[in-house]
């Protein structure tokens, strides 16, 4: 998944409801709408390693790398709400 930082946690929560809590998210700062071509290209180039990892790593390795972070994003400590636990 590719998202701005504003939507990355929401994207992970939504993916977890579909059974994909460990989805790889390439994230960049919001906003991107006003960026010129060179600035946008720099952001894309910064995300490329994450995009390549998401396309090439084995599922077990993706889960190992993102388990703790995904747990905190999907069900933060101290916040009670309906969600699918990791």
Query: Helix, strand, or coil here: 55?
Result: helix
Per-residue pLDDT averaged across 20-29, rounded? 94
Show the beta-strand stretches assigned E in the chain: 2-4, 26-28
pLDDT value of position 2: 95
pLDDT for residue 84 = 57
21: nearest Cα among 83, 79, 81: 83
Q: What's the distance, CA 14 to chain centroid?
A: 11
- Cβ-based neighbour number of residue 12 at 10 Å: 23
- Residue 77 and residue 61: Cα distance in Å, rounded? 25
Average pLDDT over residues 9-38: 93
Which tens digit of pLDDT belongs to each residue from 29-86?
A: 999 999 999 999 999 999 999 999 999 999 999 999 988 888 888 877 766 665 555 5
Query: Can you give the pLDDT at residue 83?
Result: 54
Give the contacts of 24 (CB within 8 A, at least 6 positions apart): 1, 50, 51, 53, 54, 57, 62, 66
Q: How do the domains of the chain map onto residue ranges?
A: 2-74
Q: State residue 79's pLDDT score.
A: 63
Tokens coding 78:
């101290």
The pLDDT value recorded for residue 70 is 84
The whole-number pLDDT of residue 34 equals 92
């Amino acid at each position: 998944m590719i998202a701005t930082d504003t939507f990355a946690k929401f994207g992970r929560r939504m993916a977890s409801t579909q059974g994909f809590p460990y989805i790889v998210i390439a994230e960049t700062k919001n906003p991107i709408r006003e960026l010129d071509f060179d600035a946008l290209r720099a952001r894309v180039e910064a995300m490329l390693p994450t995009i390549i990892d998401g396309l090439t790593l084995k599922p077990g390795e993706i889960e190992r790398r993102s388990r703790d972070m995904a747990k905190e994003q999907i069900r933060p400590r101290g916040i009670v709400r309906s969600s699918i636990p990791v």
